[in-house]
Chains A and B, each alone.
Chain A
Amino acid sequence: MASSMSVSRRRFGRLLARISGSRRQFSSTTSSISIDDQQQQQAQPQPQPRSLNLYSAINQALHIALDSDPRAYVFGEDVGFGGVFRCTTGLADRFGKSRVFNTPLCEQGIVGFGIGLAAMGNRAIAEIQFADYIYPAFDQIVNEAAKFRYRSGNQFNCGGLTIRAPYGAVGHGGHYHSQSPEAFFCHVPGIKVVIPRSPRQAKGLLLSCIRDPNPVVFFEPKWLYRLSVEEVPEHDYMLPLSEAEVIREGNDITLVGWGAQLSIMEQACIDAEKDGISCELIDLRTLIPWDKETVEASVRKTGRLLISHEAPVTGGFGAEISASIVERCFLRLEAPVSRVCGLDTPFPLVFEPFYMPTKNKILDAIKATVNY
């Protein structure tokens, strides 16, 4: 079932024209729309998709989430005024300040409060203003949210909790506004970690996260908030969690990434193609629990794997993917798994260009792996 779905999604993807509009643009397929959605679309005509940037897509998803579930709440620092990245613009006006409200600056309190709210059967959508500020809430996420269901023998859970946080580099963010902390949370059974790569993905995945019966940490690539623009369906749709997506097919090497890094990787794929290297690019989308099967199937085909993320290479989630794929495809691999990631330093201020896993670093690693 899963494989037939992915085949049909891929085919559907190729039928659609690529939409471009920004520097950090993806080849935007709708291959991510689930079969149910397609059928639904055929059954009743939907309004034409509009070109949206990523923050507007998030905003639309939040509007839908609050509209479709009267027990959904949005809260966080400054969200009542639209948030520092404008993701919550207009929500308080439309749904009132008892459902969309500012909190004090107290991340631990925000998440703890969200867990309690969710435990009463509500959809608690908490915003941490920057992923860099999530650490005061680390204890609540790891010890309270993730284990609530397990340790109460399924009497209680906080499945309605979704924590949104902008992550990643913006070109000049410095130490405290650029970090990618996803790997910390991937070490925590009981929560899901989801990262979208584009506006259409962000809307569908965020709605899935909000409605998922497990607590989810949803990291938004803040570099793409304004830069990434694509057509986003107006209607309420969800994209499946824990399903990776092949966004570019190839035969020589498999590239796996997530979030903002994918656009960099795609540029490297395009450049590699000029040298006759055919790259397959996979968006992991959900980091835990992750879609090993799709990655495995791809590596079985190409025999090579490259993983890229902004977080430091040591202990990054790339390490987990690498280990898992080596376990599963050891005899099929024709080269060591390559990781092109952030360096093992604090996120630097003036040295950001050196730190980042840039296109040329990826391209170089693609060639090194293919010619191994």
Chain B
Amino acid sequence: MALSHIASSSSRSKNLLKPIAAVLSCTPSLRRPISTSSDSTTLTIETSVPFTAHNCEAPSRSVETTPKELLSFFHDMALMRRMEIAADSLYKAKLIRGFCHLYDGQEAVAVGMEAAITKKDSIITAYRDHCTFIGRGGTLLEVFSELMGRQDGCSRGKGGSMHFYKKESGFYGGHGIVGAQIPLGCGLAFAQKYKKDETVTFALYGDGAANQGQLFEALNIAALWDLPAILVCENNHYGMGTAEWRAAKSPAYYKRGDYVPGLKVDGMDVLAVKQVCKFAKEHALKNGPLILEMDTYRYHGHSMSDPGSTYRTRDEISGVRQERDPIERVRKLILAHDLATEKELKDTEKELRKEVDEAIAKAKESPMPDPSELFTNIYVKGLGAESFGADRKEVRVVLP
């Protein structure tokens, strides 16, 4: 039984690694598609694999970028990676409590998406939200403070890992229940359409959430009312500990909207993500909703209590790391175009490591929220709740 599990999962993981094969065959050509010389400001680079389309025209594989943008991609993704690794250590040191879901491996989705849209567009996601928050302009201090439940956190220490928000740049969080955020995204999109401000909402969900009924309710609503909603399925191939093919009759998530068009993207290729998100925004404003399936991978387990190695092989994880890693892909591009030297990139990473460490040190100094905060924000003016300490004669308060 156990053996057949492994056998069947390895045969399936060949499917998972398919994009790798495709990348491999493309790797020698990574240098070729560049149409301009490296001192020019615009580079045109071909995506690793073509987009696969359902009921729509796929965008071009040729992505325009600049040296500056490529370097910023490297910087942002390396920052996110370092941040998540640090969060892992902090969790293990019990400085982060609660549940914690790490994003490392999937950085290209957050970074590529931001490159194509503005902060007036909205993003809503589930609980794997640290890097999406950083992408929206959040700071390391806010991240680590929130993770450790401190006042300087983005939710003032009241949310924790799963509940990051940033209102001023359209980040609607940070939701705890798998799939529950997708209909919310449709509500955001409706408001945007009503205001006619030419903005869109990206509602992110995982391949696990793709099997929740709420997705299909949201799809119907979005299509019925032509909402500028882009439903982004971050397919990391495992819904908690269950491989996608065990949980979904059709793991072609981009097709599962049926009447809603969809595109499948290599979510490990930041340029492909950028290209498709740019396309999606234009499409959604003109024609209504669209599904983007980002083929990506999380290196960590589902949450901190999941070692991530019981339902997939270590070979599979290291294979993806070696062949598809989003940061390494950009590093190769940068080196191939002589935009920076290997040492400069290493220095950047060192610098980021320092930045992260400093932010952690600062976050540790941030105070815990005031105890009265336990009772605020439940209703507009608080509840009038009565509370008492261990001895009700000593500490007894009625809150506002």
Contacts and interface: CB of A to CB of B under 8 A. Distances in A.
Contacts of A360: 390-391
B2 A354 contact: no
B99 interface: yes
Given A93-B2, A175-B162, A105 B385 contact: no
Nearest to A77: B240
Contact of B213 (A96, A108, A174, A344): A108
A135 B179 CA distance: 13
Interface of B is mostly: loop
Contact of B157 (A84, A104, A133, A350): A350
A133 B98 contact: no
Nearest to B178: A105
Contacts of B59: none
Contact of B311 (A81, A97, A350): A81
Interface residues of A, number: 45
B99 A177 contact: yes
A104 B371 contact: no
Nearest to B240: A78
Interface residues of B, number: 51
Interface string B140-163: 000000000100000001111111
Contact of B241 (A78, A109, A177, A350): A78
A176 B160 CA distance: 11
A32 interface: no
Contacts of B127: 176
B145 to A, nearest CB: 11
Nearest to B375: A345
Interface in A111-153: 129, 132-133, 135-136
Nearest to A129: B240
B130 to A, nearest CB: 15
A358 interface: yes
Nearest to B208: A105
A35 B158 CA distance: 50
A67 interface: no
B242 A77 contact: yes
Nearest to B382: A345
B158 A349 contact: yes
A258 interface: no
Contact of A176 (B97, B157, B162, B208): B162
A270 interface: no
B179 to A, nearest CB: 7
B125 interface: no
A364 B241 contact: no
A229 to B, nearest CB: 20
A345 B374 contact: yes
B392 A105 contact: no
A177 B98 CA distance: 8
A108 B149 CA distance: 32
A351 interface: yes
B183 to A, nearest CB: 12
Given A133-B177, A175-B159, 19 more contacts: A81-B241, A102-B246, A103-B247, A104-B208, A104-B239, A105-B239, A105-B242, A136-B213, A172-B98, A173-B99, A174-B98, A174-B161, A176-B176, A177-B98, A343-B387, A344-B383, A345-B375, A364-B392, A365-B392
Which 8 pairs of residues, A with B, have the shortest CB-CB distance? A172-B97, A360-B390, A174-B98, A176-B176, A104-B211, A350-B149, A104-B247, A105-B208
